[in-house]
Amino acid sequence: MLKRFPFGPLEPDKPLSQSRAYNVLPAANGYRPVKSPVTFAATLAGLINGASYVSSDGVSSMIAGTATDIYRYDGTNWNSVLGSLTASVWRFSQFGDLAIAVNGGTPVKYDLTAGTAGALGGSPPVSDLVATVRDQVFLAGDPTARNTLGISGYNDSEGWTAGTNQCLYVPFPAGGDIMGLAGGETGIILQQNAVRRATYNADGVTWWTFDEIASDVGCMAKGSVARAGQLVFFLSEEGFKVTDRNTVQPIGLEKVDRDFFSLYSRDDIAKMTSAVDPRATTVMWAIPGIPGRIWCYDWTLGEWSTIDTSLRAIFSGFTSSLSIDALDALYPGGIDSIPGSLDADLFSGGNPLLVLASNDGAVRTLSGPNMAASFVIKPTEIGDGMRVRIRGARVVSDAVQGTVTVDVRARAGDAEHKVVSGGIRDNGRVPLRANGRHVGLQVDIPEGAVWSYALGIDCEFETEGAR
């Protein structure tokens, strides 16, 4: 007899959920591999977080912050552009040709065209949250006014005089501290117990309207806020949520929320960072550690997965443009040895990236050989109450490398009793010899194996009887 066990969606919160998957990404009816981290930029010791932006002249810049400095990567080295700072967190937003950076103190700016940095002018409020909404900068996070939103002057990131050029300071008497901001044509203000939408009014009187689109639900972690177009994702006290700027919907309910909260303390959650993969419909939340874990949600499929790797932070951006010094290092033979024109895209950067910062400051992308992947089917009865004899299995995948482990038990609550097979044979079959009433299976695909999909496993068995 033959029974197929599909590698179903990652839903550990459901009591009857039978499958788990590790170091993979969701795909239609199954999973696809994750590339291993590859270092692509010089190590920056103490890196807290970073961002990448493309200026109006088409040149991209990757910047990052440590506890004391803002750095720019020139394609070979990290160069400090502003020092003597005190920071425990960094968040960024682009406003024209400026990158606005906040760290819990006075906001700073990096000029993407001039390559210079300094304090943001106009006496802006102390902030650790920033977003660009239409033609104005939103700031929040002043510890002396934690429920207050600061809005810059119109088309002026350094206009911070209330009542001048549409600059406003808006305290919200209900909803608690502001925990997140998201920009776009409208703004999203995430409080501890409310979600508000900011809509611009060109009436010359009120300028902005703030509508509460959800009450009694809000954001619990500032680093959990990630934006993809109109969608804004965040972590609430109830679990993972998304808003389309009109309603708030759960995305982890009865899927991963309970499992997530069972694994981490509030201190762990406070250290999370988040990013959207610019080449996929996937948002990721990273809990730092050695290893840390990335929780991935594909909003098109509505499915989850996890990736275990050592990291400090995660952010999305673009490859940096190369400086003349970097070109000299890459092509020591001189200008005649450089392939193509200096105006080529190869040197101007701008390719979208998902960036992982490791705990030692190495900057990496998921672009190497496939990571080792595992799929686990929990023990379940497959013989209508009778004992079964397992004869073999076939992995429903284009992987030609891997092992299958069978776990057979008389009762579901018994201790594990595993029998490890050999590898996948040339004919695709994995021979197995085991018997029991409850059968569990594990598929392990090694690091570096070439494969593109994994859908499930077919188990060959015979029934023995009801003893």
For the chain, domain boundaries? 2-34+371-465, 36-250
Q: Which fold has domain 36-250?
A: Neuraminidase (2.120.10)
Looking at residue 323, its pLDDT comes to 46
Looking at residue 203, its pLDDT comes to 79
Q: Which helix H or strand E contains 83, and what residues bound it?
A: none
Rg (CA), the chain: 26
Task: Dihedral sign for Cα 242, 248, 254, 258, please.
Answer: positive
- For residue 432, what are the contacts with CB-CB under 8 A and spacing of at least 6? 390, 391, 392, 393, 404, 406, 419, 421, 460
Looking at residue 169, its pLDDT comes to 97
CA 96 to chain centre: 25
Distance CA 251, CA 17 (A): 17
Please report which residue ranges of 210-279 form alpha helices under DSSP H: 257-263, 266-270
> Which residue, among 442, 432, 443, has the nearest Cα to 390 in the 3D structure?
432
CA geometry: angle 435, 438, 442, nearest 5 deg: 85
Looking at residue 319, its pLDDT comes to 62
Looking at residue 336, its pLDDT comes to 54
Looking at residue 431, its pLDDT comes to 92
> Which residue, among 323, 219, 319, 321, has the nearest Cα to 272 in the 3D structure?
219
CATH of 2-34+371-465, one of 2.60.40, 2.60.120, 1.10.4160, 1.10.357: 2.60.120
Q: What's the token pair of residue 88?
A: 């425990």
Please report which residue ranges of 273-358 form alpha helices under DSSP H: 324-330, 345-348
Distance CA 415, CA 407 (A): 10
**Local confidence pLDDT in tens for the 467 residues of the chain:** 889 999 999 999 998 777 899 999 999 999 999 999 999 889 999 999 999 999 999 888 999 999 999 999 988 899 999 999 999 999 999 999 999 999 999 999 999 999 999 999 999 999 999 999 999 999 999 999 999 999 999 999 999 999 999 999 999 999 999 999 999 999 999 999 999 999 999 877 789 999 999 999 999 999 999 999 999 999 999 999 999 999 999 999 999 999 999 999 999 999 999 999 999 999 999 999 999 999 999 999 999 999 999 999 999 876 654 444 544 444 455 545 444 443 433 333 457 889 999 999 999 999 999 999 999 998 888 877 788 888 999 999 999 999 999 998 888 788 888 887 888 999 999 999 888 888 899 999 999 999 999 999 999 999 875 54
- For residue 418, what are the contacts with CB-CB under 8 A and spacing of at least 6? 405, 406, 407
Which residue type does 418 have?
K
